[in-house]
Chain A
């Protein structure tokens, strides 16, 4: 398992890095649009009407963006958790922490894929 994770590190890190980028750029923009601009009326209510947003999310570009926003940050967060655990408790526990974190990221990613495909 250790060897497999070592071989997969470049992929995991690519997912982690992408998650970091999305977390920095898209999350604040989403929070601003939905959490601040919409309640303050800066965005017309009809722009965020359910049917319109649902249609946008179900389009191919919408699904790709949604999937990226769900999957990559998952790997970002769980990779951070793994390394946090190493910093706090030593590298020995990584033998079970790493499979646990990446297993969780994989299962949750598949769940996200399933949900996005079903939209």
Chain B
């Protein structure tokens, strides 16, 4: 604890009713030694400029809403200590997303991509309640639990060079989520998802940059999911050659 002097926080501002293009605004903030970047933004909002807009909620890296670029890197601002930066810290909205206002970005496209991979358990035939639960061993749970830790913070979309280049790309989090269901022993919908993975902007659009896993604050390792999904999509494609789709289940 204790004061750590002042830092200049340079924030991107954008008011769609007033600004043609985003502008920057600097704030002198008396920071505490244990502050995260979000604390500085909250100080600005509470004490200096209430018009500053940004998303945040849990302050403990669980809700995934406070993602932004700090000195050019995608970060969860609640989990990014100010002490590691110099006297000037630049905060901009998440890259690769349309900006609504200040640091608030449009999430619609991201949510549409998440839905496209059918992130729910698909069963060929639903089990009747009286037949009891679908059991899963700890080992089967371990197969996918890492990929279920995603908090949809969208940092991986900001870091991924393909998301910026290819408007159709499903993106790391959505592919990791689809892969999580493909690995779930209770799920029977892998064929459907692999077909989506093989479409334009699917898993093969990934260029192996690995930036998604570098920035992931929850160690989901989406790059591993994407590349495992590529293997799965190849095997599923080969299976389709041997067993024509019409003959399946």
Would you call B3 an interface residue if the criterion is a C-beta within 8 Å of the partner chain's C-beta atoms?
A: no
Would you call B1 an interface residue if the criterion is a C-beta within 8 Å of the partner chain's C-beta atoms?
A: no
Contacts of A14 in B (CB 8 A): 234
Q: In the complex, A12→B166 CA distance in Å?
A: 20
Asked if A86 and B233 sit within 8 Å, CB to CB, the answer is: no
Chain B, 200-248, CB within 8 A of any chain A CB:
200, 204, 206-209, 230-231, 233-234, 237-238
Asked if B165 and A90 sit within 8 Å, CB to CB, the answer is: yes
Cross-chain contact of A13 among B161, B166, B230 (Cβ < 8 A): B230
Would you call A95 an interface residue if the criterion is a C-beta within 8 Å of the partner chain's C-beta atoms?
A: no
Q: A87 with B234: in contact, given A9-B198, A9-B204, A10-B198 (CB under 8 Å)?
A: no
Cross-chain contact of A83 among B199, B207, B233 (Cβ < 8 A): B207
Would you call B162 an interface residue if the criterion is a C-beta within 8 Å of the partner chain's C-beta atoms?
A: yes
Asked if A87 and B165 sit within 8 Å, CB to CB, the answer is: yes
Would you call A17 an interface residue if the criterion is a C-beta within 8 Å of the partner chain's C-beta atoms?
A: yes
Chain B, residues 150-174, CB within 8 Å of chain A (1/0): the string is 0000000000011001100000000
Asked if A13 and B234 sit within 8 Å, CB to CB, the answer is: yes
Cross-chain contact of A91 among B166, B198, B233, B234 (Cβ < 8 A): B166
Measured CB to CB, the closest approach of chain B to A39, in angstroms, equals 35
Q: In the complex, A87→B233 CA distance in Å?
A: 23
Number of interface residues of A (CB under 8 A): 14
Chain B, residues 184-199, CB within 8 Å of chain A (1/0): the string is 0000000000000011
Contacts of A10 in B (CB 8 A): 198, 204, 233-234, 237-238
Q: Which residue of B lies closest to A2 (CB)?
A: B200
Asked if A80 and B165 sit within 8 Å, CB to CB, the answer is: no
Would you call A84 an interface residue if the criterion is a C-beta within 8 Å of the partner chain's C-beta atoms?
A: yes
Contacts of B199 in A (CB 8 A): 6
Q: Which applies to chain A's interface (DSSP): helix, strand, loop or mixed?
A: helix
Contacts of A90 in B (CB 8 A): 165
Measured CB to CB, the closest approach of chain A to B140, in angstroms, equals 25
Q: In the complex, A38→B113 CA distance in Å?
A: 54
Measured CB to CB, the closest approach of chain B to A82, in angstroms, equals 8
Asked if A6 and B200 sit within 8 Å, CB to CB, the answer is: yes
Asked if A87 and B198 sit within 8 Å, CB to CB, the answer is: no
Q: In the complex, A107→B26 CA distance in Å?
A: 57
Cross-chain contact of A80 among B162, B208, B230, B238 (Cβ < 8 A): B208
Contacts of B234 in A (CB 8 A): 10, 13-14, 17
Contacts of A84 in B (CB 8 A): 207
Q: In the complex, A6→B166 CA distance in Å?
A: 14
Q: In the complex, A111→B127 CA distance in Å?
A: 56
Q: Which residue of A lies closest to B240 (CB)?
A: A10
Q: Which residue of B lies closest to A84 (CB)?
A: B207
Q: A87 with B161: in contact, given A6-B200, A14-B234, A17-B231 (CB under 8 Å)?
A: yes
Contacts of A91 in B (CB 8 A): 162, 165-166
Measured CB to CB, the closest approach of chain A to B169, in angstroms, equals 9
Q: In the complex, A10→B203 CA distance in Å?
A: 10
| Interface residues, chain A, with chain B CB atoms under 8 Å away | 6, 9-10, 12-14, 17, 80, 83-84, 86-87, 90-91
Instruction: Identify 23 residue pairs between A and B in the complex whose beta-carbon atoms are under 8 Å apart, listed by A's number.
Output: A6-B199, A6-B200, A6-B204, A10-B198, A10-B204, A10-B234, A13-B204, A13-B233, A14-B234, A17-B231, A17-B234, A83-B206, A83-B207, A84-B207, A86-B162, A86-B166, A86-B207, A87-B161, A87-B207, A90-B165, A91-B162, A91-B165, A91-B166
